[in-house]
Amino acid sequence: MSSLIDVHTHLHPPKLFRAIRRWFAERSDWDISAQPTEPLDVAAQYRAAGVERFVFCSYAHKTAMARELNAWLCQTSRDLDGYGLPLATVHLDDASYLDDLRTALDDGCIGLKIHEDVQRLAVDDPRFDPVYAELARRGGFVLAHIGPIPWDYPPHAGRERVEAVVAKHPGLNFVVAHFGAPDSYDYLALMERHPRLYLDTTMYFAQESPIGSRFVHDAAAVEAHANRIVYGTDYPNIPFAYDRELRGLEALGLPAPALRAIVHDNGAALIEEALSGART
């Protein structure tokens, strides 16, 4: 079994998880009801699948909830003995959002999750600038879900927002979720100029995925950027089994070192940089 570092998974407090499950049941045709939600059960799935470490997140979809949510994420990470590491959430309409981030990083978060669609925020909102500066200073990374995918796929605009952020914050490790769909190969070109820009694999390479099955996969382009692609899955909020993302990646036929960089080494390095704290 391969050793995996999964940088994109979800754990939510029970009440929020129930609401998210209800949303998928009522508003989508995804059947995710079979996947566990209790942190210990989810972690057991990862151990069985050969996951060495995972990064998990939730998101504040409205004001006045980020602080409590971050505290829950950090306590959950401690309950898991650090096997899972949390990303913080902030809401820009909270007056204390920068302080919320600092508190969360002090408490064990290794970066920040932004979900543009669920949170109704844009990554290039200038109110994020002090947040990005703080994350860059402390080596934490951003994991960003850009735009309204998987419900709609408007091209280019999301990628332009990301480009504005990484140009303004060259010291910030910035991971675009879902392999940057629908602008994936534009992002790969952007990486030449932006050495801290990454894409995660989440729901892009699994054959059964409603996202990835829309796109043609270019194994040569993936191999050429294998040092900037990180493995993620969105588990347990996916309508297919955990191993499908890995099977999809394996099906690309990449050389072993490139596959290992993607499923383990790059994610391990992002985590290590965040855990080692302030840069000089």
Q: Which stretch binds Zn ion (CB under 5 A): 11-19, 59-67, 134-142, 227-235?
A: 227-235
Binding mask 23-62 for Zn ion (x = CB under 5 A): ----------------------------------------
Which residue's CB atom is positioned nearest to Zn ion?
234
Which uninterrupted H or E stretch holds 26? helix 14-27
Written as six digits, the tokens of 145 are 């879900």
Residues binding Zn ion: number (CB under 5 A): 1
Return d(Cα 121, Cα 98) in angstroms, integer: 15
The distance of closest approach from Cβ of residue 11 to Zn ion in the complex, given in angstroms and rounded to an integer, is 11
Q: Which is nearer to Zn ion, 177 or 274 (CB)?
A: 177
Q: Which stretch binds Zn ion (CB under 5 A): 87-95, 117-125, 167-175, 226-234?
A: 226-234
Where do the H-state alpha helices sit in 63-212?
Answer: 66-79, 97-106, 116-119, 129-138, 157-168, 184-190
The distance of closest approach from Cβ of residue 167 to Zn ion in the complex, given in angstroms and rounded to an integer, is 25
Q: How many CA atoms does the CB half-sphere of 28 hold within 13 Å?
A: 17
Q: What is the DSSP letter of 124?
A: T
- Reference 107, options 153, 154, 140, 152; nearest CA is 140
Q: Is 277 left (phi over 0), alpha (psi -120 to 50) or beta?
A: left
The distance of closest approach from Cβ of residue 279 to Zn ion in the complex, given in angstroms and rounded to an integer, is 27
Burial of 96 (0-12, 13-18, 19+ CB in 10 A): middle
**86-125 binders of Zn ion (CB under 5 A):** none
**231-260 binders of Zn ion (CB under 5 A):** 234
The distance of closest approach from Cβ of residue 202 to Zn ion in the complex, given in angstroms and rounded to an integer, is 6
Q: Which is nearer to Zn ion, 234 or 245 (CB)?
A: 234
Q: Which is nearer to Zn ion, 46 or 258 (CB)?
A: 46
Task: By CB under 5 A, name the binding residues for Zn ion.
Answer: 234
